Amino acid sequence: MAEGQQQRYRVIDRLAAGGMAEVYRAESAGLEGFKKKVAIKRVLPHLSEKKRFIKMFLDEARLGAYLSHSNCVQVFDIGVGDNTYFIVMEYVDGADLKAVIEWVRKQGRSFPTAYAVYITMKICEGLAYAHDLTDENGRPLGIVHRDLSPPNVLITKFGEVKIVDFGLAKASIQLEKSEPGIIKGKFSYLSPEAAMGKDVDLRTDIFAAGIILWEMLAGRKLFQGESDFETVKQVQRAEVPPISRINPTVDTSLEAIINRSLARDPATRYATARDFCKALTQWLFATNNSVTPFEIAELVQNVTRERQRAMASKAEAIDIGSLIQQTLFEFTSVQQSEQSSPNATNKPLTAGKGATISTTDWGAELDSDLGLHIPKPTPSAAIDGGVLARQLEGDLPSASPISAAKSSSQVEQPSQPLAAQPSSPPASLVATKPKGASPALLGGVVVLLALLGMAGAYVAGWIK
């Protein structure tokens, strides 16, 4: 990003990535410590040279700047930096509708009918606003989303439903017109006219909203072939199985509403998203179904909690691997420092792929590098891997995890009690050096047992 924009936006992490752009969570910095979370959609660098694509991307940003509605994600800023373009958008803290549908399915439950109707109503409210939008002179912008699908419907943890990504929108003010006959949008959510390469209008969005409602209630895809070509052919035919046979909670009046939104002929569909929304609202009132954002919020929060648990488990697994890798790196650094020393005479011991560990005065090196007091190996040295791991974290005194044993089958007890040692410690990993074993071999055993001890202590919860 440019120097001014670097000061204004601080990237926190990456949320998603696709073939054309990637989205980051960031903070917008203002005066007197003011901060606001935002989402930054950034064009992938290799596409920045494609003028056609950049024009379409900027058209999306311009259209987004016009949108200011509770059911549409708002665009705040457009920028260019590091030879690429980016859009700063409203950050939606929650989950997309696709994740919500998948979570309900994994629970072995059906999507509550009233919830599905309510979410579709909110989608229609956002569509109706965009479809009716005019410029500052009152001229209709003619916005059509054309890419409406569950991933493009975001729901906040407070139950707010928002449409995002008008990247394929078609409006009269676009600099780059969509060419007739080119199919754009996700195949499973195309309208029949779009699948046949015909011109589309706002009724193509109504068809997509009808697909989303049907899929929430059916618990499966409506149009899903074995290939993209087969999926497009299914959309062209627009054969919709009766939803009441799949989901008995759907009554005949709701089924009639859904079927009208999914009519193959655009002329027989709802003329506007507003009309579709009114029909769904009337069904809710007629059936005494009361749905509020609070019920939707609870559903979304279940999804986000599961996602956080999955991320925590993944991070824990990565941390264990990183711990071992970091320790290997530290021992390799010891070897590298010894190789550069003119007094290093022992042949290094190979450990791991491409790494070497010298056994020259390894106890002294560990003592200086890791802050441990480790005596030099003797013919009968015994190593307690668990205690060594805890000593690495500073939980134990440095005087007693490794001591000289009286014989190969015994371990001498420390002269003083270990106050930090647990009352029921795990079984120790003990290795003794056979008679005549080389110092290099013993050094390798020490390193291996130290690594195993650290991993074991991490699993046991001693290393945080």
Query: 183: domain range?
Result: 94-291
Mean pLDDT of 280-292: 95
CA 398 centroid distance within chain: 43
**pLDDT tens-digit profile of 60-90?**
777 778 889 999 998 888 888 777 888 899 9
Percent over 90 (pLDDT), the chain: 39
CATH of the domain at 63: 3.30.200.20
Give exposure, 52-69, as e/b (b: 16+ Cβ within 10 Å): ebbebbbbbbbbbebbee
- 133 and 48 within one domain: no
In a domain, 195, yes or no: yes
Q: Do 260 and 331 belong together in one domain?
A: no
Confidence check: pLDDT of 172 > 70: no
- Tens digit of each residue's pLDDT (9 = 90 or more) over 372-387: 343 444 443 343 444 3
The last residue of a domain, from among 72, 90, 108? 90
One domain for residues 402 and 427: yes
pLDDT at 53: 76
Asked whether residue 303 is domain-assigned, the answer is no
pLDDT of residue 81: 75
Asked if pLDDT for residue 391 goes beyond 60, the answer is no
Q: What pLDDT, in 10s, does the model give residues 198-228?
A: 989 999 999 999 999 999 999 999 999 999 9
Whether residue 50 sits in one domain with residue 146 = no
Inside any domain, residue 15: yes
Same domain, 69 and 113: no
Same domain, 133 and 261: yes
- Provide φ and ψ at 224, rounded to 5°: -150, 95
- Measuring CA to CA, which residue among 142, 210, 130 is closest to residue 173? 142
| pLDDT, averaged across the chain | 73
CATH code assigned at 161 = 1.10.510.10
- pLDDT on residue 158: 96
The pLDDT of residue 262 is 97
Query: Which of 436, 431, 441 is closest to 348 using CA atoms?
Result: 441
Tell me which of 59, 96, 147, 165 is the catalytic residue: 147
Q: Is the pLDDT of residue 368 over 70?
A: no
The answer on 117 and 140 residing in a single domain is: yes
**Tally of CB atoms within 10 A around 79:** 18
pLDDT confidence of 432, banded at 50, 70, 90? very low
**Do 85 and 124 fall within a single domain?**
no
Residue 177 above 90 pLDDT? no
Query: pLDDT tens digits for 89-142?
Result: 999 999 999 999 999 999 999 999 999 999 999 999 999 999 999 888 888 888
Q: Is residue 380 a part of any domain in this protein? A: yes
Provide the whole-model pTM.
0.65
Q: pLDDT value at position 169?
A: 58
237 found inside a domain: yes
100, 161 Cβ separation under 8 angstroms: no
Q: 32, 57, 90: which is the final residue of a domain?
A: 90
- Is 147 among the residues known to form the active site? yes
The terminus-to-terminus CA distance of the chain in angstroms comes to: 37
Residues 433 and 348 in one domain: yes
pLDDT at 322: 54
**302 occurs within a structural domain:** no
Q: How many domains does the chain have?
A: 3
Please check whether residues 163 and 287 belong to one and the same domain.
Answer: yes
Say which residue, 377 or 323, is predicted with more confidence: 323
Q: Looking at the structure, tell me whether residues 82 and 111 fall in a common domain.
A: no
Last residue of a domain, one of 67, 90, 113: 90
Does some domain include residue 308?
A: no
Which pLDDT value is given to residue 135? Answer: 84
Residues 105 and 69 in one domain: no
Q: How confident is the model at residue 170 (pLDDT cuts 50, 70, 90)?
A: low
